[in-house]
Structure 1
């Protein structure tokens, strides 16, 4: 008789999704609200107002995370949408990672690792040899996730009010399975 142990990471499945679907839009709204409120708390000592969140969402569209210029991934934990990530093509060799989010209730269950493994595979399927991203310094959990999964600090390739640190990763060789 064979026994197996079910790990919480085994409950994750990641697949491509329509960035305009209701599930994707709900996750993107939660992602934006989460990172915006962290920014507002750090710099202004308060949460963002509903108007500020709506204005920010409107000014940060995700429609380029669809073919042919990109793609959107949705992670499901026990069948429920709980994470997301987007890739956009920057040039013949490079894809940019953006909109990485795992809902707070399922953080620590292996969802980030599964999501980033799927990102690597998706980038290769788009013909990318490298993934780059920019993020804020205060998003320490995200930065730790990236470095645990092979991203290294690189020189700035973009500018903007929230681009404070840049990472890159070679994806020419398949990554080992996420656990």
Structure 2
């Protein structure tokens, strides 16, 4: 891929067990685990953390996959923990597709999809070492909020009100 053109990507709901979704989620987790431990992730670690994806199925949530033509280039998950609330998770853009608004495109698509479910607020948590992600979320209007959930790796919690589009 030469340069990203995220405004021309298609972003569509995709089952977590679809081959494109599985490959993107594995790449995301490989990078996340490798950054955290400062060493390459073991395939078994990635599989363990990947789990069954139930949090992104049915009434619990969904996964969006971005494609540049037929090429899968990114994904974003949205959990639906309670009526009116959504949670952003698993935001990932493949290395060659990064820059030029790729993350913004995915997060905006997730916000629009969450809004369509009736969500009025989007939550997220992240690690403090994921500075690129924190900068993106801040630019998009996410602000600190009270800690929630039981993610042992969460170090920063953010939220954004989802005004009607």
TM-score, length-normalised on structure 2? 0.90
Given that 1:20 and 1:63 are in contact with CA atoms closer than 8 Å, whether structure 2 keeps it comes out as no
From 55, 66, 77, give the equivalent of 2:48. 55
CA–CA separation in structure 2 for the residues paired with 1:103 and 1:67: 26
- 1:37 maps to 2:34: yes
Whether 2:101 is the aligned partner of 1:104: answer: no
> Retained in 2: the 8 A contact 1:84–1:115?
yes
Shift of 1:56: 3.1
Q: What count of residue pairs does the alignment treat as equivalent?
A: 162
> What is aligned with 1:159?
150
* Structure 1 residue 70: Cα displacement: 1.0
CA RMSD of aligned residues (A): 1.6
Measured in 2, the distance between the counterparts of 1:52 and 1:75 equals 25
CA distance in 2, matches of 1:51, 1:33: 10
CA contact (8 A) 1:135 1:162 kept: yes
Match of 1:79 in 2: 70
Post-superposition offset of 1:110: 2.0
- TM-score under structure 1 normalisation? 0.84
Q: Which runs of 5+ in 2 are unaligned?
A: none
Larger Rg computed on CA atoms? 1
Equivalent residues in 2 for 1:1-179, closer than 5 Å? 8-41=5-38, 46-58=39-51, 61-174=52-165
Gaps of 5+ in 1: 1-6, 175-179
